[in-house]
């Protein structure tokens, strides 16, 4: 926006000129006294001459500006209308929709019709592949899937067999334990009966009760020791039998030593027991001796049965689930899923290879990396397709002009000789240095009505509608003035020039919205031919 101070027009006093004209007019009616004698006009001619002279003076006075009326100044009337502020810039036409196409498969490129700069239609075939290797890979993945399924089936069958065997072993162990418990129960009954018989015999020989009890206690202790040594021997024999064939010889010898020591100790205890029996027989007679021997034997058998039961219970392994665990089942399922996915992957790759690469939308080929006859690697770039229908103008606006940018603002875009409509769609929130090091803000103007004449990468001129006010009070920008106190204009009120502060709104190249300070119809001085001062007298001359 440009504002100019209006210069005050100097007041010209033309009264002397009138006097000059009048003097010249009067002198023109007389003859030179040096060349001709003065003649006295007749009375009938004086009155008309005076009338003409008075009329001339009156006309000249009317034509000359009156000092009382003041200086004539051009004015404009404040009226209402539309004010639109615009911002002009330029940028580069780019595509809003850009897609880089990558190879979906590892396969040779049979044909490539994508050429940089050419226009293509949606669905147009651009790249085809040789799928020979893909078909072989698909067949191999199917075989791998069958192999995984058969392996899982075999594992399930083996697990079922192991489970059946373990169940049978558990039944046998349970039966053996039940048999031992029954025998122990029977033996305990026998012992109870023998103890009763022994007690009866002991009652008959009351004199020898104390000694018999002592011998019986010793015999019982002997039997207990025998049971202990017998259990130690059986444990050692069992441990020796369970040793692995490749166990160290020292370990075997240590077990043999324990078994031999237990055997020797057992023999000594048996010999001692026989001696005690003889002593007992001598005290209680043959009948009591027999009962005691039978009782001792029954108790010894009872200890052996109890030891066997303990060993059986200790030798039982914890219950083990020989079936397929949940983890194994999950792993088997995963292996089958992987095999199935491999089949799906190879089938999908085969299908993708057969489908080739087609244009997904109408556009222009921008960059081509695919070479016909070469082998494409999965994920490698083939070509780039940019849309010619979804386009925008990329702007780089100086950072100082950022206040002219507002998302959603309408725009006029000129590309070559054609003009299109647009809308400011995005604005970066940071100013970054451009190639010249100047801070700029990047923005995008979406072109709403592109056609075949829009070319990607060309320059475009953009006019942004920064602000617009409709049916508002406005003035031409050239009548505005500015000072340290703000904007103001000179208005003419009752023939006097006054300085009037104003508040501006939307300002275009030639109009400025007046938000406050003036009313519609106000006469604003637009004359810039002279110096304008507040308080001077002036008359208004409307601009045409």
Instruction: For 312-336, write each residue's pLDDT tens digit.
Output: 888 776 665 656 777 877 887 777 6
| Distance (Å, whole) CA 431 – CA 400 | 10
| Distance (Å, whole) CA 409 – CA 463 | 10
The string of pLDDT tens digits covering residues 289-308 is 777 788 888 888 888 989 88
Amino acid 493: pLDDT: 92
The string of pLDDT tens digits covering residues 84-134 is 888 999 999 999 888 999 999 999 999 998 898 888 999 999 999 998 988
3-state SS class at 529: coil
Element (H, E) at 358: strand 357-358
Helix, strand, coil percentages, rounded to 5, for the chain: 45, 30, 25
* Beta strand segments in 369-502, E: 375-376, 381-387, 391-398, 410-415, 418-427, 432-433, 439-447, 459-476, 481-483, 486-493, 496-501
Burial 243-271 (b: 16+ CB within 10 A, else e): eeeeeeeeeeeebeebbeebbebbeebee
| Distance (Å, whole) CA 440 – CA 64 | 60
Give, for all 544 residues of the chain, the pLDDT tens digit: 333 333 333 333 333 333 333 333 333 333 333 334 444 555 556 666 666 665 654 554 444 444 456 788 889 999 999 998 889 999 999 998 889 999 999 999 999 988 988 889 999 999 999 989 888 988 887 788 788 777 878 878 887 787 777 778 788 888 888 998 999 999 899 889 888 887 777 666 565 667 878 888 988 999 999 999 899 889 988 888 888 888 788 888 888 898 899 899 989 999 999 998 888 877 755 456 777 788 888 888 888 989 888 888 887 766 656 567 778 778 877 776 776 666 667 888 889 889 899 998 989 998 899 999 899 999 999 999 998 889 999 999 999 988 889 999 999 999 999 999 999 999 999 999 999 999 999 999 999 999 988 999 999 999 999 888 899 999 999 999 999 999 999 999 999 999 999 999 998 888 999 999 999 999 999 876 668 888 999 888 876 5
**Which alpha helices (H) appear in 112-208, and where do they start and end?**
132-204
Residue 257 CB contacts under 8 Å (≥ 6 apart), including other chains: none
pTM recorded for the entire structure:
0.45
Residue with tokens 């209402």: 80
């Amino acid at each position: 926006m440009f504002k100019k101070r209006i210069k005050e027009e100097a007041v010209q006093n033309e009264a002397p000129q009138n006097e000059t004209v009048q003097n010249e007019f009067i002198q023109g009616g007389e003859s030179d006294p040096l060349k001709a004698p003065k003649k006295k006009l007749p009375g009938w001619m004086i009155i008309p001459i005076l009338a003409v002279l008075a009329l001339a003076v009156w006309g000249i006075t009317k034509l000359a500006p009156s000092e009382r009326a003041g200086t004539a100044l051009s004015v404009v009337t404040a009226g209402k209308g539309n004010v639109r502020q615009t911002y002009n810039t330029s940028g580069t036409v780019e595509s809003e929709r850009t897609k880089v196409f990558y190879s979906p498969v590892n396969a040779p490129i049979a044909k490539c019709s994508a050429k940089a700069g050419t226009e293509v239609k949606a669905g147009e075939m651009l790249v085809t592949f040789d799928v020979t290797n893909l078909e072989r890979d698909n067949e191999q993945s199917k075989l791998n899937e069958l192999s995984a399924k058969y392996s899982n089936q075999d594992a399930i069958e083996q697990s079922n067999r192991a489970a059946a065997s373990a169940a049978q072993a558990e039944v046998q162990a349970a039966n053996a334990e039940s048999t031992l418990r029954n025998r122990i129960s029977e033996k305990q009954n026998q012992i109870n009966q023998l103890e009763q018989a022994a007690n009866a015999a002991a009652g008959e020989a009351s004199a020898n009760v104390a000694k018999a009890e002592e011998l019986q206690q010793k015999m019982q202790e002997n039997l207990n020791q025998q049971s202990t040594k017998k259990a130690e021997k059986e444990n050692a024999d069992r441990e020796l039998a369970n040793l692995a064939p490749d166990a160290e010889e020292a370990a075997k010898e240590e077990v043999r030593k324990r078994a031999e020591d237990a055997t020797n100790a057992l023999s000594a205890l048996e010999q001692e027991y026989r001696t005690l029996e003889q002593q007992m027989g001598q005290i209680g007679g043959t009948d009591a001796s027999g009962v005691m021997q039978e009782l001792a034997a029954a108790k010894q058998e009872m200890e052996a049965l109890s030891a066997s039961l303990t060993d059986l219970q200790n030798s039982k392994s914890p219950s083990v689930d020989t079936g397929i665990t949940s983890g194994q089942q999950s792993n088997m399922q995963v292996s089958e899923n992987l095999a199935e996915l491999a089949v799906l992957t190879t089938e999908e790759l085969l299908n993708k290879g057969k489908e080739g690469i087609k244009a997904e939308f109408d556009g222009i080929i921008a960059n081509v990396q695919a070479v016909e006859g070469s082998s494409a690697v999965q994920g490698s770039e083939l070509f780039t397709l940019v849309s010619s229908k979804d386009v925008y103008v990329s702007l780089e606006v100086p950072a100082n002009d950022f206040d002219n940018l507002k998302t959603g603002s309408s725009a006029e875009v000129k590309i070559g000789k054609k003009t299109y409509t647009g809308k400011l769609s995005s604005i970066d929130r940071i100013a970054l240095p451009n190639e010249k090091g100047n801070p700029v803000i990047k923005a995008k103007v979406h072109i709403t009505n592109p056609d075949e004449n829009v070319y990607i990468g060309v320059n475009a001129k953009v006019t942004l509608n920064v602000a617009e006010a409709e049916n508002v009070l406005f003035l031409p920008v050239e009548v505005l003035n500015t000072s340290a106190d703000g904007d103001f204009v000179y208005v003419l009120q009752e023939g006097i020039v006054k300085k009037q502060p104003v508040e501006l709104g939307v300002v275009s190249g030639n109009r400025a919205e007046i938000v406050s300070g003036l009313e519609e119809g106000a006469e604003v001085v637009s004359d810039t031919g002279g110096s304008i001062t507040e308080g001077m007298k002036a008359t208004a001359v409307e601009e045409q």
